[in-house]
Amino acid sequence: MNYSRIIGTGGYLPERRLTNTELETWVDTSDKWIVERTGIRTRYLANNDQDTCDLAEQAARRALEAARVDASELDLIILGTTTPDRIFPSTACLLQARLGNHGAMAFDVQAVCSGFLYALSIADKFIKTGTAQRALVVGADTYSRLVNWNDRSTCVLFGDGGGAVVLETSVSPGILSTHLHADGAYKDVLTVPGTVAQGRLNGDGFTKMQGNEVFKFAVNILKESVDETLAANQLDIKSIDWLIPHQANIRIITATAKKLNLPMEKVVVTVSEHGNTSAASVPLALDVAVRDGRIKPGNLLLLEAVGGGFTWGAILVKY
């Protein structure tokens, strides 16, 4: 049986660093309020001449370098994003051209903050069926461009970034199981309601969020996802070496860990450094923990995320 295995990780944050102190001069907020409510201290914003593909490219190149794989060896490229550079072609195709790959399957996945998990799950299936041998999976967003910077309830939360992994076929287990779900009944709880027609934006192009509803849903559904994943693999929470959650809000992360009876010492937390980077947040956190040595070969990792839609899911990985 074929398995897919992560052989390289990469991450990238833009140079422009926006602190809470600077945000205090933009909107009626404070560093103390932001940290207490979200755990976020800084976030990074793409420059005006940077697009999502620019962030994805840097993360991808770092993952390819770590994997010691040339882009020409890839036969699948999947990019999770909510902020594509163009209506079409896909940002994955734009990335493919940047990397100098010709002929690999390339497409985007839109599942908002769950985008990387959706993309990783799809790549895993391609490899397990023998359709692909090496895959590049990226989560990247310039989410700051979907934020009204006069709305303090949302503008403090989001930032831009990119994260990536390289997968290859393996005879030993790497990705053990994937569990994805969605429920469009919650479409208005977290949304950007605008549409594009006749070359123009119709409606509102900024993020609208019912914060309390998002919090309650996220904490409950993330625990359910973890329980589902553990049950499918006949494991208990003590078997997990590292939980790598979507980096949306420290309160969601800590509340989920508490529900799972999982000590925070086993949770990778990077939200304070870059805020909610949407599809990039899970691979960014994964890359940080791999590069600083916390994650070691053989560790059992549980990745989880929830995003607008709602979409949600969890993936169990033997690193």
pLDDT of res. 82: 98
Catalytic residue among 20, 101, 179, 246: 246
SS (H, E, C) the chain: CCEEEEEEEEEECCCEEEEHHHHCCCCCCCHHHHHHHHCCCEEEECCCCCCHHHHHHHHHHHHHHHHCCCHHHCCEEEEECCCCCCCCCCHHHHHHHHHCCCCCEEEEECCHHHHHHHHHHHHHHHHHCCCCCEEEEEEEEEHHHHCCCCCHHHHCCECEEEEEEEEEEECCCCEEEEEEEECHHHCCCEECCCEEECCEEECCCCCEECHHHHHHHHHHHHHHHHHHHHHHCCCCHHHCCEEEECCCCHHHHHHHHHHHCCCHHHECCCHHHHCECHHHHHHHHHHHHHHCCCCCCCCEEEEEEEECCCEEEEEEEEC
Counting the structural domains of the chain, the total is 2
On whether both 143 and 231 belong to a single domain, the answer is no
pLDDT at 165: 99
Kindly report the pTM of this predicted structure: 0.97
Per-residue pLDDT tens over the stretch 156-197: 999 999 999 999 999 999 999 999 999 999 999 999 999 999
- The active-site residue out of 113, 155, 179, 249 is 113
Q: What is the pLDDT of residue 313?
A: 97
In this prediction, residue 1 carries a pLDDT of 79
Does the annotation mark 102 as catalytic?
A: no
261 is catalytic: no
Domain range holding 190? 176-318
CATH of the domain at 223: 3.40.47.10
Please say which residue of 172, 191, 216 terminates a domain: 172
Q: Which residues of the chain have pLDDT under 50?
A: none
93 is catalytic: no
The reply to whether 19 and 164 lie within a common domain is: yes
